[in-house]
Amino acid sequence: MKNSKLTGILEQVLLASFFFVGFLLVFESELKIPLFLQPFGRLHTLLLHFPIVLLLLAMFMEFFRFQASLQENKTYLQITQLLILVGALSSGITVMMGIFLAKEPGYGGGDLYWHRWLGVGTYLFASLIYWIRSRSWYQVTWAKCMSISMALMLVLVGHFGGNLTHGGNFVLEPLMKNQAVPLEEAVVFQDLVQPILEKKCVACHNPDKIKGELLLTDAKSIAKGGKTGPLFVAGKPELSLLIQRAHLSIDDKKHMPPIGKPQLSDDELQLLSWWVKEKASFTKKVVDLASTDSLRILSTKLLASSGPKEEEFDFQEADEKTIQKLSNEYRTIMLFAKDSPALSVNFFNKAQYKAPKLEELKEIKEQIVTLSLAKMPVQNADLAFVKIFEHLHTLNLNFTDISEVGLKELAGMKELMVLSISGTKLRAAGLASALKAIPNLKKVYVWDAGLSREDIQILQKQLKGIQVVGGFQDDGSNPLKLNPPQVKNPSTIFDEYIEAQLGHPIKGVEIRYTTDGSIPDSAKSSIFAGNLRLNQNTSIRARAFKPGWIGSEEAIFDFYRGHFRPDSAVLLTPLNRVHQAAGAKTFFDGRLGSFNANSPAWANNWAGVRNNDLVLVTMFKQAITLSSVELRIMVETQTGIFPPESVEVWGATIENQWKLMAKFKPAIPKENFPHTLPLIGTRFKPSTVKYIKIVAKPLEKIPGWHPSKDKRALFLVDEMFFN
C-alpha cells in the first residue's frame, strides 16, 4: 500500500504541507487573511474531528501491531499505515485552518497558546510516526510508547480547544456544585448575575476568546463594555445593549446568546433587566433591597432553587396511624418535606391548649423537627415536655408566657438551632446563660420581648456565634416615608375632557398637587378632592402627606388631549428594525411608552427611525378642522436618541393633493440634557382636512460634544395628538 500511487501522492502532499505550515507559523504575525479565506478558517471546528478519530483509531491499531496474530496480516498493517498517513495529513490541514481562524478578532490567551502548539505538535508527531514506523529499530516498545503519547496529546489538544469553544470547566461543571449562599450574605452581582453570565456568556467572552472585545469574567471588564460600547446604561435596561441583544429574535444574527447556545431563561433575563434597573451595582446585597422590590423577590426565588439539598434524617418515619390519631383541628402534624420522615407540629386555639397535649406527642418524639407554640399559653414548666423532642431544630415560642427562667429547660438540646421568643416577657439578667446552654443554637428572635436596644446589643456580644434578631424598635425618631400618589385613570389620554383620578394605598393620606410646574408642598398647594377636570394638556405634580410620616417623593402625571383619532393610518417608510412597536397603529392606540424594564424600548410602544424619514399618512371618513399636531417623543442624548431635526404637517381634503400646513424644528438638547419624554408640536391656522401626512426627519448629525458626533440620531415616538 505504501508504494501505491495513492500513497505516493498523499506522501508528497504531506511533505509539501510542512513547508506551508512552517511559512504560516513563521510569518503569522504579518498575516492578513482575505475575506474569501475566512470561511476556510471557520471550517476548523468541523474538520478537527476527523484527524482526532483517525489518529485515535490508528494508534489503537498501532499499539497491537506487533502481536503475533497481526504481524502477518497485511490488510491490518496496510489499513494502519493509511490511517496514520491520512490522520497526519488531515491534522496538517486542520492546523492551517486553525491559524486562519485565530487571526479573527476575539481569540487569545493561554488556552489558544496551548491549543495551537499542541495542535502543531500532533501534526508533526503523527507525521514522525508515519515516517519511522517502517525502520528496523521500531519495535513493540516504540509502537506502544508512540501510541500512548499520541493519544495523550490528542486528549490535551482537544481539552484546550474545548475550553476555547465552551469555556473552562465545561466537562466537569455539572459535578462542581457551588456552595449555597445564605440570603443574608448574597450579593446580587456576585451570587446571581455573575453565575448567569458564566453559564450563558463567558464561553465566548473570556480571556482566551474575547468576542466583540467584550470580557465578562469580572466586574471591571463588564463595566468597561466592548467594541460596540458600554454593556449597559445603569438604571435604564431598555437602553442597555445587554438586554436589547437578549430580546432580539433568536434568528437575528445579533441575538445573544447566539442560536445553538444555551439561551437565557425568563427568570434569568428578568433578573438581568432588574439588576440594570437597580443601577447595576456590583456590591449591593439582596437584603439591601426593599422586601417588596421585584429584584429581591426574584433573587430570593433563585437562591432558594439553587440552595442546598433538603435535610436528610437517619431516623425512621412515624406510623401513619399514629400521626392520624394525634392530629386534630387544634394540632396539625405535617411532613417537614416531601418524602422526609421528619415532622412539623403546629398548635392552634389557645383555649384548647394544655400541657398534656405536648406530652401526648412522645409517640413521635423522634420525628418532630419543628414545633410552633406561638400565641399558646405555654408556661415555663411546659418546656420540660419540649426537651424530649431529641431532633427538634426549630422552636417557635413567640407571644407565650415563658421567661428566661423557663428557657433553662432547653439546656443540652443538641439539635436546636433556631429559637423564636418574640413577644414574651424576658429580663436581660440570666437570658444569656440560658441561651448559651443550648449548644448548637444559631439564631434567636427577641422582638418586642421586653429588652431594650442596649440589652440586645449586650446580649449579642455575650452570645458569640449566635445571631440575635432584635427587630425594629420605633421610638418616634424614625418616621417612615410615604410612597408617591398613584394615578387611577386607565389612560391619561382623552378627547374632550377627563376627570383626573389620584389615589394612595394608605388610608388618611392627603394628596397635594400643582398644575403650574411648581413643586407641591403640604401648606400652600391644592388638596386633591377628586373633582379635578382637565380639558387640555396638563402636567400634574403631586405628593402625599400624613401626620407622623415623611412626605412622599413627587409624582408627575401627564394628561394629553387628542380630540381627533384617524379612522386609518399607514406608514410610507420603514421603521427601525428593533423599534417596530405596533406599526402605524402605535401612534393612536392610547398606550404610552415608558422606561419600565418589563417592557424594553423596542417592545414598549416606541416606534423609531434612524436611516430614513418617518412618513405617516392618516385618513378620516369625515372632514375635521385641525389646528394643532403634537408628538410624544423620547430624548436620551447619552444613547443617541434625539428630537427630530424637523417635522412637517401636510393636509388635504382630496387624496394626494397635499398642502403644507406647518413645519417646526424642535430645539436640539445641549450636553448633559436629562432623560425626558417631552411633547413637541405646533399650532397653526385652523384647516379643514380629511388626510394628514406627518413627515419627521431624524437629526442628520449628532452634535460635536457627543461620542457619536456626526452620526444620524435615533428618533422615537409613541403617540400623536390631533386637535
Tens digit of pLDDT for each residue in 342-401? 999 999 888 889 988 999 999 999 999 999 999 999 999 999 999 999 999 999 999 999
Read off φ and ψ for residue 144, nearest 5 degrees. -70, -40
3-7, 219-223, 376-380 — which is least confidently predicted?
Answer: 3-7
Q: What is the mean pLDDT of residues 130-159?
A: 83
Residues in CB range of 594: below 8 A, 6 or more apart? 604, 677
Question: What does the mean pLDDT of the chain come to?
Answer: 84
Q: What is the mean pLDDT of residues 675-680?
A: 90
Between the CA of residue 699 and those of 217, 634, 636, 670, 708, what are the distances in Å? 38, 13, 13, 14, 12
pLDDT digits (tens, 9 = 90+) for 480-526: 788 899 999 988 999 999 999 999 988 889 999 999 989 999 889 99
CA-CA-CA-CA torsion sign (155, 160, 162, 163): positive
* pLDDT band, very low/low/confident/very high, at 430 (cuts 50, 70, 90): confident
* pLDDT band, very low/low/confident/very high, at 595 (cuts 50, 70, 90): low
One CATH from 2.40.50.320, 2.40.170.20, 2.60.120.1060, 2.60.120.1190 for 568-722: 2.60.120.1190
Local structure of 357: helix, strand or coil: helix
**pTM (two decimals):** 0.46
pLDDT digits (tens, 9 = 90+) for 170-194: 555 555 555 567 777 788 888 888 8
Q: Do domains 486-561 and 568-722 have the same CATH topology?
A: no
Residue of higher predicted confidence among 380 and 25:
380
Contact 97, 47 (CB under 8 A): yes
Name the residue with cell 403650574: 516
| Alpha helical stretches, state H, 612-676 | none
Looking at residue 16, its pLDDT comes to: 78
Contact 187, 193 (CB under 8 A): no
* pLDDT band, very low/low/confident/very high, at 665 (cuts 50, 70, 90): very high
One CATH from 1.10.3470, 1.10.10, 1.20.1740, 2.60.40 for 486-561: 2.60.40
Looking at residue 18, its pLDDT comes to: 80
Nearest to 272 by CA among 587, 640, 567, 600: 600
- Mind giving me the DSSP string for 448-502? TSS--HHHHHHHHHHSTT-EEE------SSSPPBPPPPEE--S-SEESS-EEE-E
Classify residue 225 by its DSSP letter: -
* Residue 1 pLDDT exceeds 50: no
Q: Identify whether 257 is preceded by a cis peptide bond (ω within 30 of 0).
A: yes
- Bridge partners for 422 per DSSP: none
| Alpha helical stretches, state H, 311-375 | 320-326, 355-359
Nearest to 88 by CA among 59, 116, 66: 59
* pLDDT band, very low/low/confident/very high, at 597 (cuts 50, 70, 90): very low
Nearest to 302 by CA among 275, 282, 283, 329: 275
Domain ranges of the chain: 5-166, 177-305, 320-469, 486-561, 568-722
pLDDT digits (tens, 9 = 90+) for 42-97: 776 677 777 888 888 888 888 887 887 777 777 887 888 888 888 778 887 887 77
Give the other-Cβ count within 10 Å of 29's Cβ: 6
Residues in CB range of 184: below 8 A, 6 or more apart? 285, 287
Percentages helix, strand, coil for the chain (3-state, rounded to 5) are 35, 20, 45
Question: Could you tell me where the beta strands, DSSP code E, fall in 84-218?
Answer: 205-206, 209-210
One CATH from 3.30.465.10, 3.80.10.10, 3.10.400.10, 3.20.20.20 for 320-469: 3.80.10.10
pLDDT more than 90, % of the chain? 34
What is the C-alpha to C-alpha distance for residues 186 and 180, in angstroms, rounded to an integer? 9
Residue of higher predicted confidence among 167 and 210:
210
